[in-house]
Chains A and B, each alone.
Chain A
Amino acid sequence: DAGVIQSPRHEVTEMGQEVTLRCKPISGHNSLFWYRQTMMRGLELLIYFNNNVPIDDSGMPEDRFSAKMPNASFSTLKIQPSEPRDSAVYFCASSSRLGARSEAFFGQGTRLTVV
């Protein structure tokens, strides 16, 4: 099992540019989560999907952020336009179920730097 696969691993972009982060969850997992990690705020949940449907997007910071899950094996997180304060490590995680005993499997993350 290849685990959760994220791309790219690193992204450096200029302020105002569009950034697209990609995630392939573990096959068979029906829940997918996007997190952002910074030193100041720790790990924050941005949005999560269940069976490709967005369930809770209350953590998305503002309209510049959008996420899609067109099928069970692919999701994207887009930032347009990007700003320096968006610099962080973005993680995608997947889970086989929701509930008390659900385990989240994380990808290696995308380190985003907006200059």
Chain B
Amino acid sequence: TQLLEQSPQFLSIQEGENLTVYCNSSSVFSSLQWYRQEPGEGPVLLVTVVTGGEVKKLKRLTFQFGDARKDSSLHITAAQPGDTGLYLCAGAGRGSTLGRLYFGRGTQLTVWP
């Protein structure tokens, strides 16, 4: 059973389009992290959101943490080929699971020039 569900699993778009990917769970996390992974490499952290309702912007990327701290979304404006990669969300455990990161399966994004 996957603790974090990401959708869509695959996304193929043209350069310049906007997109949103989602990360949903029935569990509450102390924080939600988004990573990007390129072929042959390990995931690299993009952002951490901690407070319910928090919104963070990283250039053309906007991250939002749900009010109940169970879900998150990533919106990319005017996507570019360099945005291509596997986007992973990860929930940080609390209490007895402090230190654990629970990863979703990811959204594979391809941006065509």
Within 8 A of B (CB), among A74-115: 91, 93, 98-109
By CB atoms of chain B within 10 A, which of A43, A56, A91 has the most? A43
Q: Check A93/B42 contact, CB under 8 A, given A55-B99, A99-B92, A100-B31.
A: yes
CA distance A99 to B42 in the complex (A): 21
- Give the tally of cross-chain contacts (CB within 8 A): 64
Asked if A48 is at the interface of the complex by the 8 Å CB criterion, the answer is yes
- 20 residue pairs from A and B, CB less than 8 Å apart: A31-B99, A42-B106, A45-B100, A45-B101, A55-B99, A56-B97, A91-B42, A99-B98, A99-B99, A100-B31, A100-B92, A101-B48, A103-B45, A103-B48, A104-B45, A104-B101, A105-B45, A106-B41, A107-B42, A109-B41
- 8 nearest interchain CB pairs? A106-B42, A42-B105, A98-B99, A100-B30, A100-B31, A43-B103, A103-B45, A106-B43
Known interface pairs A35-B103, A56-B99; 16 further A-B residue pairs with C-beta atoms within 8 A, sorted by A's residue number:
A33-B101, A42-B88, A42-B105, A42-B106, A45-B101, A50-B99, A56-B97, A91-B42, A98-B99, A99-B92, A103-B48, A106-B42, A107-B42, A108-B42, A109-B41, A109-B42
